[in-house]
Amino acid sequence: MGDPAEDRGKLTSQQELCVSDKHATKRPCCSTLKLFIVALSFAYFSKVLSGTYMKSAITQIERRFDLSSSLIGLIDGSFEMGNLLFLAVVSHFGAKLHRPRLIAVGCFLMAVGSFLTGLPHFFMGRYTFDTVIQGSMNDIVHTSYLIEELYCAPVCLCMIPSVDCVRDSSSHMWIYVFLGNALRGIGETPVTPLGISYIDDFAKAENSAFYIACLQTITLLGPMFGFLLGSLCASLYVDIGYVDLETVTITPKDARWVGAWWLGFLVSSVIMLLSGIPFWFLPRSLPKQGEENKLPPSSPTQDGTENNNATSHQAMTLAEIAKGFIPSLKKLLSTPAYFLLLCGSLLKFNSFIGLLTFKAKYMEQQFGQSAARANFLIGVLNLPVVAVGIFLGGLLMKRYKLGVVSGAQLSFVTSFMAYLLLLLQFGTKCDNVQVAGLTVSYNGTPGVVYNGNLWSECNRDCSCLAGEWDPVCSDNGITYTSPCLAGCSSSTGYGKNTVFHNCSCVLSSAPEGSMSVILGQCPRSRECSRSFTSYMAVSVLSSFINSLGTTPGYMVIIRCIKPELKSLALGIQTLVMRTLGGIPAPVYFGALIDSTCLRWGIKKCGGRGAFHCVCGLTPMCACVQVCLNMNNQQCCDVSYPILKQGESGSPFYWANTTCI
């Protein structure tokens, strides 16, 4: 075999980068790194599509399984619980193993978890909602006692025959949603820390931030399509294909509507399964970008392992890797800048997760939007500007070669501006829905304090069931919880077109108006529509400004630690975010929303179901969001001088840590 230098001289410039040594072992081309970035982008797209679809389907799952907001928040947090089990271990051990194949295994587990999440639909019966209207899928037999439930009549409730409760066998099916979401979290464990560290190890230092910015920008297409998929599924009835939709008397804006929540999980499962295939064919390590011809055949790569072509390669044992875990963790957490930035990121992440989880529900309850429209607007307005902001943030770092301190300054300024816009965002709101006996009195007087009394002089002699929720709307703009409680004594029409007449409570609240009511809640006022437009405008602007500092803030964290600690640092950051942010935030935000509820659904065998009407949601959510963001700003204020001293080489900075 000829001299390696002579052989290389006969090859083209592109082939030079692919030839290894005199053994003619081919070294991965520099383009392999770009192939990895493309594959990782698709994996990121898939995982965040599934995650954001879960967020968009929260309301549908809550109604389908009759759950409270706090419990649905716990189910949503099960993803982070799965991450918690393996994240630190995978981040530490995975850096020494075959990272692309670990990512492939993770994609497969995410696909299985997503499929398991949507599986309960096929083992549950048809969805039934509480209604007394004939012509729906819950058709009523014309018995006298049911007619008395529907209309106001002086009949004693003791005449209504009791029906034995038969507990629904699918009442605990939500556990499978919990487990599937947790399995998806386990599968996501290796994707982020190992993927980012792989890029940073083998890319040029000046290209690393740009590559990661491109990755995050492409990734944000996932949430956009996730919310659009959620919008589509929310507009489809849950049992589509199994029932005649003409017989369904409720609309997507109704609090009892449940969309085809299961369909999106099946779609995302297939996408995630496909995203894992390329990683099985990618190499364990690559030559450093730009140094393909400079590394000796036996030189160590950036991940701490020797080049694949070295004949003297000795793989590290698991015992040796485990022995260095505790010292590495101690060294990492003893870094002042990293620790303070971690605390600030945690507070910001709590605010972000709480808002993202219930943003669609907030838009439903506060502005009267349907779940489908809320998800659609988030997908086409908020997320695209976030993608642009993240890309521009990475481009600014590359164009002006921003260092650690400059990156921290940019991240701080954008975060502070977004915080100010948050205060303005929660200043736009709508008045509460006018529901007789809940938010207004039966004569239409606003500002009534809710005392749990749905009875008035106009319906006191009616044999109504107080637990009914079949809302009707009158011409005076007041919603009544049922035709009976509105004092109606007759009706015309059929199914969705049913109109109730001779409603005594409507007469008392609007003497000059109609005494009839129609099905459904009353629409919001025009002032509410204008407030919603202002809310979305401020929300989009806040999202853009906040996203400008995402990439600089991310790079500050991984650039102020030793290179061999990067995978562990990213893993610990993700672990802390998921443990102290991703798990508790949906729960306490959900409990906060539950505390504002004025009208709860009732399960078949008693007990509280999903809620129907809320009050005071804006000030309570705003208070929590403002407090979390204020503490985040304080952490940024403290960490800035530490970063400044670290860059100038001050002894105050951790001795074993240097800013790259």
Domain boundaries, the chain: 31-125+170-289+320-431+527-648, 130-165+434-523
Q: What is the largest CA-CA distance in the chain?
A: 106
pLDDT at 294 exceeding the cut of 60: no
Confidence band, pLDDT 50/70/90 cuts, at residue 320: low
Confidence band, pLDDT 50/70/90 cuts, at residue 300: very low
The pLDDT assigned to 628 comes to: 53
Confidence band, pLDDT 50/70/90 cuts, at residue 316: low
Confidence band, pLDDT 50/70/90 cuts, at residue 248: confident
The single residue listed with the structure tokens 């007041």 is 478
With b for 16 or more beta-carbon neighbours within 10 A and e for fewer, the 251-266 pattern comes to ebbbbbbbbbbbbbbe
Over residues 509-538, mean pLDDT:
80
Listed residue (325, 317, 273, 326) closest to 97, CA to CA: 317
Distance (Å, whole) CA 643 – CA 408? 8
pLDDT at 252 exceeding the cut of 90: no
Cβ–Cβ < 8 Å for 410, 569: no
- Range 448-457, long-range pairs (CB < 8 A, 24+ positions): 450/598, 450/615, 454/481, 454/485, 455/485, 456/505, 456/508, 457/508
| Secondary structure (3-state) at 491 | strand
Distance (Å, whole) CA 650 – CA 18? 44
Could you give phi then psi for residue 553, rounded to 5 degrees?
-65, -35
Query: How does DSSP assign 87-129, residue by residue?
Result: HHHHHHHHTTS-HHHHHHHHHHHHHHHHHHHHGGGGGS-----
Over residues 443-458, mean pLDDT:
65
pLDDT at 327 exceeding the cut of 60: yes
Q: What's the number of CA atoms in the CB half-sphere (13 Å) around residue 249?
A: 27
The pLDDT assigned to 636 comes to: 52
The pLDDT assigned to 163 comes to: 45
Listed residue (277, 284, 105, 265) closest to 190, CA to CA: 105
The pLDDT assigned to 155 comes to: 41
Over residues 617-637, mean pLDDT:
52
The pLDDT assigned to 536 comes to: 92
Over residues 140-167, mean pLDDT:
43
Of residues 306 and 144, the one with the higher pLDDT is 306
Q: Which residues pair with 259 in a beta bridge?
A: 237
Over residues 81-88, mean pLDDT:
79
Over residues 300-308, mean pLDDT:
44
Rounded to a whole number of angstroms, the distance between the first and last alpha carbons of the chain is 43
Highest mean pLDDT among 22-36, 439-453, 460-474: 460-474
**Of 477-491, 573-587, 621-635, the least confident:** 621-635
Average pLDDT over all residues of the chain: 74
Distance (Å, whole) CA 528 – CA 530? 5
Listed residue (402, 345, 350) closest to 586, CA to CA: 350
Burial of 584 (0-12, 13-18, 19+ CB in 10 A): middle
Q: What's the number of CA atoms in the CB half-sphere (13 Å) around residue 375?
A: 30
CA distances from 516 to 50, 124, 473, 502, 533 (A): 45, 38, 9, 6, 32
Distance (Å, whole) CA 119 – CA 117? 6
With a threshold of 0.85, does the pTM exceed it? no
Over residues 200-206, mean pLDDT:
72
Cβ–Cβ < 8 Å for 61, 174: yes
Over residues 493-500, mean pLDDT:
78
Cβ–Cβ < 8 Å for 507, 500: no
Over residues 321-341, mean pLDDT:
78
Could you give phi then psi for residue 522, rounded to 5 degrees?
-70, 145
pLDDT > 70 in the chain, percent: 70
Confidence band, pLDDT 50/70/90 cuts, at residue 309: very low
Cβ–Cβ < 8 Å for 68, 594: yes
pLDDT at 601 exceeding the cut of 70: no
Number of H helices, E strands in the chain: 24, 7
Confidence band, pLDDT 50/70/90 cuts, at residue 144: very low
Sign of CA dihedral 631, 635, 638, 640: negative
Q: pLDDT tens for residues 385-435?
A: 888 888 888 888 888 877 777 877 888 888 888 888 877 877 787 877 788
Highest mean pLDDT among 36-45, 320-329, 459-468: 36-45
The pLDDT assigned to 107 comes to: 92
Q: What's the number of CA atoms in the CB half-sphere (13 Å) around residue 203?
A: 19
**Non-local CB neighbours of 91 within 8 Å, separated by 6+ positions:** 193, 194, 567, 568, 570, 571, 572, 574, 575
Confidence band, pLDDT 50/70/90 cuts, at residue 99: confident
Residue 289 DSSP one-character state: T
**Of 399-403, 494-498, 537-541, 582-586, the least confident:** 494-498
The single residue listed with the structure tokens 């979305």 is 536
| Torsion of Cα atoms, 548 then 554 then 557 then 561, to 10° | -130
The pLDDT assigned to 262 comes to: 93
CA distances from 496 to 143, 200, 247, 479 (A): 21, 59, 8, 17
Confidence band, pLDDT 50/70/90 cuts, at residue 298: very low
pLDDT at 489 exceeding the cut of 50: yes
Superfamily of domain 31-125+170-289+320-431+527-648: MFS general substrate transporter like domains (1.20.1250.20)
Q: Which residues pair with 19 in a beta bridge?
A: 26
The pLDDT assigned to 5 comes to: 47
Listed residue (253, 272, 302) closest to 42, CA to CA: 272
pLDDT at 621 exceeding the cut of 60: no
CA distances from 634 to 132, 186, 466, 638 (A): 55, 33, 49, 6
Confidence band, pLDDT 50/70/90 cuts, at residue 148: very low
pLDDT at 374 exceeding the cut of 80: yes
Of residues 345 and 132, the one with the higher pLDDT is 345
Cβ–Cβ < 8 Å for 59, 371: yes
Highest mean pLDDT among 175-179, 213-217, 251-255, 469-473: 175-179
**Non-local CB neighbours of 569 within 8 Å, separated by 6+ positions:** 332, 338, 557, 558, 561
| Secondary structure (3-state) at 33 | helix
Structure tokens at 633: 């700003």
